[in-house]
Structure 1
Amino acid sequence: MGEVFFGLTPGGRPVAVKLIHQVHATNPEFRRRFRSEIEAARKVNGLHTAGVVDADPAADPPWMVTAFIAGPSLERALAEHGPFPDATLRVLGAGIAEALEAIHEAGLIHRDLKPSNILLGADGPRVIDFGIARATDASQATAMAGTPGFMSPEILTGESLTPAADIFAFGLVLAHAAGVRPFGEGPQPALSYRIVHQEPSLAGLEHGLGEIIGRCLAKSPTARPTPAQLLQELAPSILGGSWLPAPVQTMIDQQAPKMPSEMPRNSADAVAGSPALASPAPVVPERVVEAGSPNPGHAEPRKSPPARAESRKSPSARPRKPAPKNPQRARGTAGPPVAQRPQSGQGKEWRFRVLSLLAIVVLVPSLAMLVLGAAEGVQQVQGGCSLFAARANAAEAAGPTAPPLAACAESNSAAEILLGVLGLGIGVSLAVGARNRRQP
């Protein structure tokens, strides 16, 4: 749908800036869905998802700023490091169950729970992307929406939905994290058929965890547990240290945001170009933009008044909102201004020597030209052309076409004096410059 960029609020808090691709921004239906995503995400407690900091679905292009989660998606972690151990699976399940409880209490059905929509933070998982979430009272819509392999039977058959559809997806996600595919793999039609008509295969799962996942994958929505029941069964008694395997924890550490003073001072081109938030990634740390700036490729202050800063759901931490009529202009900055490095003593000494040498080179010939010009002025009265007298006398002896000696002397004298004065002025300027460079 768009690009996601790492950014900072005016107060320096890390955020993720999501900018929608222009091809989608011209679609009224897409804008409606994006607005719904923003509204749905705002309803859920930021502890369980990436809380919305600011957004403008009517902007061109639309954008949204959310809290930054330092960590990879579950999909990426599994692809790079393989299935999780049982202890990690239980903490992962408890965290997702807690998030689903908050989502359902907000009157929403997520409808697209999958590994790529779960971010792994140091303090637990976060559920993101409410792009096709629906309010519970609007769940009668039968349009199929979701991701193949992670959809409940009622979604595939077009039945009315309840929050239990998310519980089925929860069971598939938790089994996927354990390296188990309850309904196998293959083309979408075959996989969807098995989800609707066949029982899951949970071989390879730890007994207690397998039993929980089996109940989540019940064909009847009413037979599935609630998020509160899952949380009670999966929550660890005490959570100390890292809950993730060491290689995944390293991914989190590497993705932790830098301090503002360590940020590169550059403007993202066309965010993110922009928000430089083309396959979307949860974070692109190299790009730095300011929260609420849909296109920090230009450095023009926004005309809209500063908005409140917002921390997750709190209305007291909202960054300033960009002017909607001019979304292509915003600031792209990070970190304090960099002071100009003072010149070293060696640099000053080198410049002094160069300027002094140039002054000498110019002054000596200039003084010589002045002396010669003055001397020729005297010789003009006595006859002859200094410097060029021999050539002029030879030309006079050759015939009547040669220039008169007096004209020759007058021309040479004026040119030498003019060049001498010009050179003297340049030489004096260079000498003064060298003297100034020498002073501390």
Structure 2
Amino acid sequence: MPGKGSELREGLSGELGEALMESVDFDGLAARLGRPRGERNVFEDVLGERASGVEISDGIERPSRTLHQLDLGSFGVDLANRFNGQCNGYVLRVLEPAGPGLTMQSGKARTAADGDVDWTPDVRMHVASVSKLVTAIAARRALADAGVPGGTAIHPFLPLYWRRGPDVDQLTFDMLLTHRSGFYNPTTDLAVYGELKGQIARGALLGVPLGNATYQNVNFGLFRILIPVLSGAIKVSLTAPSGVEDDHDRLWEALSIQGYHDYVQQQVFAPAQLAGAATASAPGNALAYQWGMPGAGWDSGDLSVTSATIGWHLTAGELVRLLHAFTNGAIVPSADAWAMVESGWGVDRSKPTRAGRYFLKGGRWQSANNQLEQAVVGLLPGGLPFALLMNSQLGPDTPLLIDIVANAIEAHVVVA
């Protein structure tokens, strides 16, 4: 006899939908429908990243071949001099396919009181908004597989039961991926399900003109809805049998989170030969600390409810392998990968140098007690994959790591 969750499967389809049927406890989900929510707020002790000062570059273009190159040795020494003794710990990795690349590490991913783990390129940490670059890669794959151009309107791919506010019909995938949707919420930037749905209901033209760049987590948070729909795993007509909107919300929240997670694992991480990454923490992962009084470490926990904007726990080694696989055709054709970064999808900072352009994405996630985890990843001049993870503030002034990395790149371009 079918379980009571069998009706909830009717909105799923295709191979990815079948995988979703295997990974979700539908009977347990059905039992929760109709009950008061009462879930704990996982963000009650979090400052997050709202005031991280993100700067979005314009005019991005592919690196060109020149007679200059980045001096990796001096680049690394510059960063080591800036970091050593000024933070709890860090790891830096540059993948150089035709050479030794660069690996630097110092300090503790977990202090002696928290398990005593040294930083290495194989230690995972929550990479915060670097997760958006992972989402951009997944979106590039999903759009290509579905034959949907980036300039396509998103509204046909949203749940049918969602209300659409003013100008939502003008929003495109490209606008979301470059933070040019016009979305803005002055009170929260937490991309939980209710905020995604609420932003679509409020409409696009609230605070900033459509097409202007304003960094908002909701832009990428919507991709945990859009990617499972693009892939065919979830139908936009999906609703709960009860007909109650709160039940529709719970159903979509659970299935879209799992659908996004499954898609990234199968279509992004697997081709890059990455296994075990998750949107929840695990034993041995790096913890976040204060600087310069480390105290107890902070585990930012399970962030799956904001998947697609923050949440992925990855190593520096995994991040550079992912970028290498992406730009070398393992996930999408190489030309499509470069077209994505040229368009600014998932990228915060890009600037030309005599050795070619660089592309960087930053992430910061902070507790209410100022325990900080931060990361910068990207492509250095010449297309070299780069990743930097740090699990505290940097010195007393806590500058943005992306500024430090960008300055070091520009200072160490030399004649080849």
TM range (shorter): under 0.3
| Structure-2-length-normalised TM-score | 0.21
- Normalized per residue, which structure has more helix? 1
Larger Rg: 1
Give the strand-richer structure, 1 or 2: 2
Structure with greater contact order relative to length (CA < 8 Å, sep ≥ 6): 2
For normalisation by structure 1, the TM-score amounts to: 0.21
